[in-house]
Every structure is written in structure tokens, then in C-alpha cells.
């Protein structure tokens, strides 16, 4: 859940280019992935359902925090599949300035 843990103040308290800021940014990336997955996965399942209505036999084959994979007949004993659909999500986060901490202006 995106909440006060990720406020501007929380990041500022971590400092620029610190391990703490990197950890908080990584946690934010994980939370963004979690929220996106709640939205995206039902849409993917709807697409899979449409494809199955067109004669495929697609099912979920693998899922991680940032990856969802489906394949047609992937549960057969010889691990053969006809159609494979992979969905990767990438979220990049960071908290740092590209300039020094000192004001130039």
C-alpha cells in the first residue's frame, strides 16, 4: 500500500544516495508492483478467457512479484506448450540528485 512511508519527508530523512534511501525506494517499487498487479492480473485473466473461448487451453504457469506467465497445454506431462504468454513488469525507483547538495543559484 502506498502510504506515508513514502512521503517526501520520509525520503528526505533518509538522505541522498544513502543505503536507507535505496531501501525505501526498493520498498516503494515493490508496493507499486503489488498495486499494479491487482489491476493488471484480472485484465490478463480476461484476455486469457477470451483466447480460451477461441479454442485455446491457456492456464497460469508461473507467477512472481513482477512476472506472470501463461501457456496453452502447459500442464501436459511432457511440458510441451503451444502458445506462451509472458507479462513482465519493471518499476525503477531511486532517490538521489544528479547535482551536489549545495545550491548553485
pLDDT in tens, 73-105: 776 666 666 889 999 999 999 887 544 555 544
3-state secondary structure the chain: CCCHHHCHHHHHHHCCCCHHHHHHHHHHHHHHHHHHHHHHHHHHHHHHHHHHHCCCCEEEEEEECCEEEEEECCCCCCCCCCCEEEEECCCCCCCCCCCCCCCCC
Domain boundaries along the sequence of the chain: 8-88
pLDDT in tens, 10-42: 999 998 888 899 999 999 999 999 999 999 999
pTM of the model: 0.76
Amino acid at each position: 500500500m502506498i502510504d506515508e512511508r513514502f512521503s517526501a519527508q520520509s525520503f528526505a530523512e533518509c538522505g541522498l544516495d544513502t543505503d536507507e534511501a535505496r531501501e525505501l525506494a526498493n520498498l516503494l517499487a515493490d508496493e507499486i508492483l503489488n498495486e499494479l498487479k491487482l489491476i493488471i492480473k484480472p485484465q490478463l485473466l480476461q484476455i486469457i478467457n477470451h483466447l480460451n473461448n477461441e479454442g485455446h487451453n491457456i492456464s497460469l504457469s508461473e507467477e512472481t512479484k513482477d512476472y506472470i506467465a501463461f501457456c496453452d497445454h502447459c500442464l501436459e506431462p511432457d511440458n510441451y506448450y503451444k502458445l506462451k504468454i509472458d507479462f513482465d513488469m519493471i518499476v525503477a525507483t531511486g532517490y538521489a540528485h544528479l547535482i551536489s547538495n549545495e545550491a548553485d543559484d
